[in-house]
Structure 1
Amino acid sequence: MGNLTVQRPGWEERRRQQPLLAARSRLPLPGHSSRAEPPLAPSCPAGTCSMDSDSGELSEGEPVSPAGPDCFSSKNLALQAQKKILSKMATKTMANMLIDDTSSEIFDELYKVTKEHKRNKKEAHKIMKDLIKVAIKIGILYRNNQFNQEELEIVDKFRKKLNQTAMTIVSFYEVEYTFDRNVLAELLNECKDLVHELVDRHLTPRSHGRINHVFNHFADVEFLTALYSLDGDCRPYLKKICDGINKLLDEKIL
């Protein structure tokens, strides 16, 4: 009993000193929570901007948003994708979101109409996720001046082709009986070819697969026929999509 009385104060003293010593050495204490310092992003050499690492992939599965697992939000998905991609780069900040509010609203309607056509919520989510990731990667490459002069000429061609496609989509909706699924499918496939050409030296085959996945769906003539059916279930979605496209055209975004 005498020995215990002598040793106990020393043990208490060591215990009081342990947090201070551990703090000085920056080592976590057993039984104490410790949050690791976030790793610094690797530097991004001039002319190169790697963002296509598989480790930056968003998880597959059902869309999840603050409103619940059944409420799809392209804005939330875009924010997640942007954070994932930028976490792999030295440039971690952007002046604003790479996908604007109107485009997000269009994407939401594209998700709904794709889910309606496919009768498959998971596949619709995957298509939209691929679309958003590709759009964000191209936006980051452009804002970080990663495209050379030849690629900037492709950007200009793509903008013109996208503008032509957007006006055709709206025209086919606003003027009854003018819809031609083959014309619209051809325009979308021309957009796809330009995107492949633009990102050829920047993105991996996996991203090229995403590009095919997105455009092969939206350029599918059966999908386009269902979308433009005058008495079909997709008509309300098409109206909102065209309203959004008209707004982007008026604002000179498209």
Structure 2
Amino acid sequence: MNEGAFRARDIGLRAQKKILSRMAGKNVARAFIDDNTASLLDNLYRLAKQYTDNKKEAEKLVKNIIKVVIKLGVLYRNNQFSPDELKQADRFKNKFHKAGMAVISFYEVDYSYDKNYLLSALSESQKSLRYIVERHLTEKSLARIDSIFTFFGNEHFLDAVFKTDSEYKETLGRLVADLNRALDNGDL
């Protein structure tokens, strides 16, 4: 009987991840994501769209972020992470927090942009996140994680966004304001 219950729970968890993944459009995201995070995602979308000049690619990028975040939430709420994965999650959170702080600093302090630091922080964050979820998510979901970090960890993108006279300065400013609010709220 225990085996059947375990399978049912497993199936229920997979169904929950699948349903939420398919529903990860903008309106559904707002039901799962607070206003500041929604604003941050909207500004990430604007930045990606402005950089790529491709609405579809920018939408896909943000949808991938939403799907990954929702799946992480489902896994966490269902106590699916091992103690080692939870330790790695703390490392991920710390490294990602430092990357967010660096973005803020690079925006607010002229000539402080350190591409190598940011690339390293993003790469370490990606590795930590993959470690946390690799036994829980499909290859397709892992590819989503990789595509997110590949986009934001692209040195040409980072150079364009953080150069002193960047055409992305206004959008980056709105994003930084969202990051500051997320830090103040303890969300980053």
Q: Specify which of 49, 55, 69 is matched with residue 13 of structure 2.
A: 49
Question: What do residues 183-221 of structure 1 show as CA deviations (whole Å, max 9, x unaligned)?
Answer: 111111111111110001100001011011111000101
Q: Specify which of 124, 132, 145 is matched with residue 198 of structure 1.
A: 132
Please say if residues 68 and 144 of structure 2, whose CA atoms lie closer than 8 Å, have aligned partners that are also in contact: yes
Percent of matched pairs sharing the same residue: 36
Please say if residues 52 and 203 of structure 1, whose CA atoms lie closer than 8 Å, have aligned partners that are also in contact: no
Aligned residues: 181
Distance in 1 of aligned mates of 2:33 and 2:86: 20
Please say if residues 75 and 101 of structure 1, whose CA atoms lie closer than 8 Å, have aligned partners that are also in contact: no
Please say if residues 192 and 211 of structure 1, whose CA atoms lie closer than 8 Å, have aligned partners that are also in contact: yes
Q: Secondary structure at the match of 1:230?
A: coil
Q: CA deviation at 1:77?
A: 5.1
Q: Specify which of 173, 178, 195 is matched with residue 112 of structure 2.
A: 178
Distance in 2 of aligned mates of 1:227 and 1:56: 30
Q: CA deviation at 1:98?
A: 3.7
1:168 is matched with 102
Distance in 1 of aligned mates of 2:126 and 2:36: 22
1:108 and 2:42 equivalent? yes
Distance verdict in 2 for CA 1:188–1:238, change over 3 Å? same
Q: CA deviation at 1:229?
A: 2.5
Distance verdict in 2 for CA 1:148–1:108, change over 3 Å? same
Q: Which has the higher contact order (CA 8 A, sep 6+)?
A: 2
Distance in 1 of aligned mates of 2:20 and 2:86: 29
Q: CA deviation at 1:155?
A: 1.2
Max radius of gyration: which structure?
A: 1
1:122 is matched with 56
Please say if residues 131 and 214 of structure 1, whose CA atoms lie closer than 8 Å, have aligned partners that are also in contact: yes
Spell out the pairing of 1:30-49 with structure 2 (5 A cutoff).
43-45=8-10, 49=13
1:154 and 2:88 equivalent? yes
Please say if residues 165 and 188 of structure 1, whose CA atoms lie closer than 8 Å, have aligned partners that are also in contact: yes
Relative to its length, the structure with more helix (as a share) is: 2
Please say if residues 102 and 244 of structure 1, whose CA atoms lie closer than 8 Å, have aligned partners that are also in contact: yes
Distance in 1 of aligned mates of 2:8 and 2:103: 42
1:76 is matched with 27
TM-score, normalised to structure 1, is 0.66
Distance verdict in 2 for CA 1:150–1:49, change over 3 Å? farther
Q: CA deviation at 1:182?
A: 2.0
1:13 is matched with none
Distance in 2 of aligned mates of 1:164 and 1:55: 29
Q: Which amino acid aligns with 2:178?
A: G
Distance in 1 of aligned mates of 2:40 and 2:75: 23
Q: CA deviation at 1:153?
A: 0.8
Q: C-alpha root-mean-square deviation of aligned residues, in Å? A: 2.4
Q: Secondary structure at the match of 1:165?
A: helix
Question: What do residues 105-139 of structure 1 show as CA deviations (whole Å, max 9, x unaligned)?
Answer: 01101111111111111111111111110011001
TM-score, normalised to structure 2, is 0.87
